[in-house]
Structure 1
Amino acid sequence: MNVLLLNAGSSSLKASILDSADESILASSQSDREENGVRYEFHDDQGQSKTQKSDEFSFTTAVKQFLNDWQSSREGQSTADASISAVGHRFVHGGKFTTSTIITDEVQSRLDELSALAPLHNPASLEALIAAKQLLPDVAHVAGFDTAFHATLPPEAYTYPVPDEWTNQWDVRRYGFHGLSHSYCAERAAEILNRPLDELRIVVCHLGHGCSATAIKGGQSIDTTMGFTPLEGLMMATRSGTVDPGLLLHLQRKFELSPATLEEVLNRQSGLLGVSGLSSDMRKVLEAAQSGHEKSQLTVKIFVQRVCKAVGQLYVTLNGLDVLVFTAGIGERSAEIRAQIATGLNCLGVKIDETKNASCTPDSDISASSTINTLVIQTREDLSLLREVKKTLAET
């Protein structure tokens, strides 16, 4: 069975087709809106690839282009080899959904209502869903949620210290995000170390455009840095992460900033971009910092300090640590950031081998002599999503 998997960002779409039997990647594409247009890349398991640029981005165009390229790459093969049997959609915010689910009209409506809580992600996923349903109306469409992995959070981890009616009447609580990535990395860490997952205390640091850290014990999430929305927690590319709520009240009162303005600034104009004043790309920020740009130097220090602080808190929650995982764009590719974080965590027993760290490619163990294994793992949200689709269809 060939399964189409869609992972939509605010201005990008990652698409792939996986064989559900052996979980191999049959084809993949990525469409990204860049400063000078849209870049599209396609690759398949037959060795075919293409790259092209266009002027405008739309999810309908991106999905249609990928499916056209897929069909072209399968010319001459049987209909079964080229057909799509199901579609999996990554949704960042699932609200009360605690497991993946078939997307009915009712489910789609409920997901639309959650868009305000994940404004960078859920609207994009809905656009991709609408496009895919138009092109593939006769197959099952399944939603996989980043929040679902965190359904195991205990009450002391998910409850905010606010009035009880907010919690029970308005569903104000911490949900957690990046669950598809955190769950995959925990399972992969156990495989790499050849140890049972249920015996490990793991902190996964998902450091990319969005950033979060999660404490995993016995294979379950027991605490995480993101909360009611993906805005809480660590410093991110354009998101602020946690700030004092009193600051926001002050800005509203004194400078008359509207909720819409605050949402725009905190989600799209803060984080690496906001502090450095240069870029939301850690590579560019690091380059500027090494060239003496003071605001970029400060940006890196804040980023590292916040990750170290979060890992320290999660260490206490876990009552120790067996495995520290770095994943996602920054976590997988920036040896400099990994080194600075590891230095900040020396007091907890985290020690990495400088040579291994500088030259590693995922999936690697970069630990020095330490009781804590430090791993760099390539996240596979597509594979987690595929497994959610298979499980949901098997239960239907």
Structure 2
Amino acid sequence: MKILTINCWNHSIRYHLLSSGGQTVLAMGVVERVGLGSAFLIQKAPGKKRVFLDAEFIDHHGAVALAIATMTDSRHGVIPDAGHISVVGHRVAHGGDQFRHSVKVDHHLLTAIRDLGHLAPMHCVPNIAGIEACMKLLPDVSQVAIFDTAFHLTLPECAYMYPLPYEWYEKYRVRRYGFHGPSHLYVSRRASVLLEKPVQDCNLITVHIDRGVSLCAIRNGQSVDTSMGMTPLEGAVMETRCGDIDSGIQSYMMRKMNLSVWELEQMLNQKSGILGITGSCSSRQHLLEAALDGDPRAGLALDIDAYRIRKYIGAYLAVVGPLDGIVFTAGAGVREWYAREKILNGLECLGIGLDLERNRTMPENSEYEITGSGSLVRTFVIPTNEELVYAEDAAAVHAGIYVDHHRHDYAFAQHEFVPVQQLV
């Protein structure tokens, strides 16, 4: 069985082709500048040269078509034809409170996803475009939707309800949903293996730091609180999103600058966060470089970033009770030893200690423990693998053996599992 996973963004798509069970990555690629002109594809596959293709202007349908054509190309493809693809797993940003697990896509489901699009329009629109493209290009192949929000639908009512007029929840479903569910799922299952405890006995705080940032409080293996809210805007400081702010600021600035609702949303989502504070750094890598070069606003952004995440860790320790472990994951969570050190500095009073040398010298892209001597809480760095969650869910739904992510017997939750290495 060959499993294709698709993750569509506004102006890019990321795809992986995996073997049955997801243990072997046959190819992975990205199509950038979708809908902007001067698009291009980069594909990597074991034993083959990296492929770079110019595509001029393409929409999401064209981007998916280009990815399939490249994977099946006689020169640099990895499968003879698209008929070798058995199932496609699609990352869908928002499932509301009605999609509690991964499901097979049909036209009724697509309508339901479209109806939820207002909850995350910048994400759901391209997600839907990718699904529609695959349904047209691969009409005989099963399509499965894997929801970012599903993992967090175990939140108790006191955690997901906002103190707003209750009819807003009843009429418009205004509540906390959370995101990055597949990432928090994956690393929590891997942490349970490293802790040598059943996942249902594990209390964890998982910290996903990438372009978007989210933390998850996990009690007995289930999400009981998470930092992102109804939309991905709430929570910690992100590369271009503001995270938590006084909601009164929004109406104040709309009046001061005569902003429309759309303009304000663009400011909060695309021009705030690290970029907003520094005025120039739009990525964490550039932020660290600028801070080390002595840029005071970059240093301030680093301080705010670490401070906000540290506050969440302290709050979530109170939520989950006795804590087994903290897990750092995703791009910056894995790469940046300095960020981890800065975040955990001062948490010794909560029984959280860091081994500075191990934190700074850990092998790249490996699961690694960085717990300090005498620490009451173990701390890990675990590279996430959301694509493996997509692949396992899609294969199980296709085979008719999937119930939900709580009861599914994931391969990556087993002791004998060897983490899949991403292609370089």
TM-score if structure 1 supplies the norm length?
0.93
Shift of residue 90, structure 1, vs aligned partner:
0.2
Post-superposition shift, 1:127? Answer: 1.8
Distance change >3 Å, CA 331–CA 174, structure 1 → 2: same
The answer for the alignment partner of 1:278 in structure 2 is: 280
Q: What are the ranges of 5 or more consecutive residues in structure 2 without an aligned counterpart?
A: 403-424
1:106 alignment partner, one of 105, 108, 132: 108
1:176 corresponds to? 178
Structure 1 residues 67 and 210: CA distance shift in structure 2, 3 A: same
8 A contact 1:74–1:81 mirrored in 2: no
Contact 1:60 1:128 in 2 (8 A): yes
Partner of 1:211: 213
Give the direction of change, closer, same or farther, for the CA distance of 1:47–1:363 in structure 2 (3 Å limit): farther
Aligned-partner residue type, residue 221 of structure 1 = S
- The alignment partner of 2:121 has SS state of coil
Kept after mapping to 2: 8 A contact 1:29/1:40? yes
- Structure 2 distance, partners of 1:176, 1:226, is 5
Q: Which of 387, 390, 411 is the aligned partner of 1:385?
A: 390
User: Given residue 355 of structure 1, which amino acid in structure 2 is its aligned partner?
Assistant: E
- Farther-moved stretch of structure 1 (246-255 vs 134-143): 246-255
- Confirm whether residue 257 of structure 1 aligns to residue 259 of structure 2: yes
Contact 2:15 2:30 in 1 (8 A): yes
Whole-angstrom distance in 2 between the partners of 1:51 and 1:78 = 18
> 1:55 offset after TM fit, Å?
4.7
The residue aligned with 1:199 is 201
Instruction: State the secondary structure of the residue aligned to 2:94.
Output: coil
| Alignment-derived partner of residue 295 in structure 2 | 293
Deviation at 1:10, TM superposition (A): 2.7
Q: What TM-score comes out, normalization by structure 2 length? A: 0.87
In 2, distance between residues paired with 1:223 and 1:163?
21
Query: What secondary structure sits across from 1:152 in the alignment?
Result: coil
Q: What's the CA shift for 1:297?
A: 1.0
Distance 1:136 1:238, change over 3 A: same
Relative to structure 1, the CA distance from residue 69 to residue 254 in structure 2 (aligned partners, 3 Å threshold; closer, same or farther) is closer
Provide the rounded CA distance (Å) in 2 between the counterparts of 1:348 and 1:50.
49
Structure 1: tracts of 5 or more residues without a match: none
Give the Å deviation of 1:227. 0.8
Whether contact under 8 Å (2:70, 2:76) holds in the other structure is no
Letter in 1 for 2:166: D
Residue 365 of structure 1 corresponds to which residue in structure 2? 369
- Sort the Cα spacing of 1:352 and 1:8 in 2 relative to 1 into closer, same or farther, 3 A: same
Per the TM alignment, residue 81 of structure 1 is displaced from its structure 2 partner at its CA by 9.8
Deviations 1:28-67 (A, max 9, x none): 1123349995453212234443234555463333322222
Shifted more, 37-46 versus 285-294: the winner is 37-46
Q: Work out the CA distance in 1 between the residues paired with 2:40 and 2:333.
A: 24
Match of 2:190 in 1: 188
The residue that corresponds to 1:133 in the other structure is: 135
Distance 1:22 1:294 in 2: 45
Q: In 2, distance between residues paired with 1:78 and 1:280? A: 38
Partner of 2:69: 68
Moved more, 78-87 or 39-48: 78-87
Shift of residue 131, structure 1, vs aligned partner? 2.0
Q: Per the alignment, in what secondary structure is the counterpart of residue 215 of structure 1?
A: strand
- Report if aligned partners of 1:11, 1:57 keep a CA contact under 8 Å in 2: no
User: Which residue identity is paired with 1:364?
Assistant: Y
- For 1:384 and 1:14, locate their aligned partners in 2 and report how far apart those are by CA, in whole Å: 15
- Secondary structure of the 1:236 match is coil
Work out the percentage of aligned pairs sharing the same amino acid.
36
Q: Distance in 2 between matches of 1:13 and 1:203?
A: 30
How many pairs align?
396
How far apart, in 1, do the equivalents of 2:296 and 2:308 lie?
18
| CA deviation profile, 1:213-260 (whole Å, cap 9, x unmatched) | 001111110100011111111111111111111111222334332111
Please name the residue that 2:51 is paired with.
Answer: 50
> Which moves more between the two structures, 74-83 or 140-149?
74-83
Q: 1:75 to 1:83 in 2, by over 3 A?
A: farther
Matches within 5 A, 1:294-373: 294-360=296-362, 361=364, 362-369=366-373, 370-373=375-378
Q: Which amino acid aligns with 1:208?
A: D
Provide the alpha-carbon RMSD of the alignment.
2.4
| CA offsets 1:118-153 (integer angstroms, 9 cap, x no match) | 233211212222222221111111110010001111
CA gap 1:38/1:332 in 2 versus in 1, 3 angstroms: farther
Does residue 88 (structure 1) correspond to residue 92 (structure 2)? The answer is no
Q: Distance in 2 between matches of 1:255 and 1:25?
A: 49
- How far the C-alpha of 1:113 sits from its partner, in A, is 2.6
What CA distance in whole angstroms lies between the structure 2 residues aligned with 1:241 and 1:38?
Answer: 31
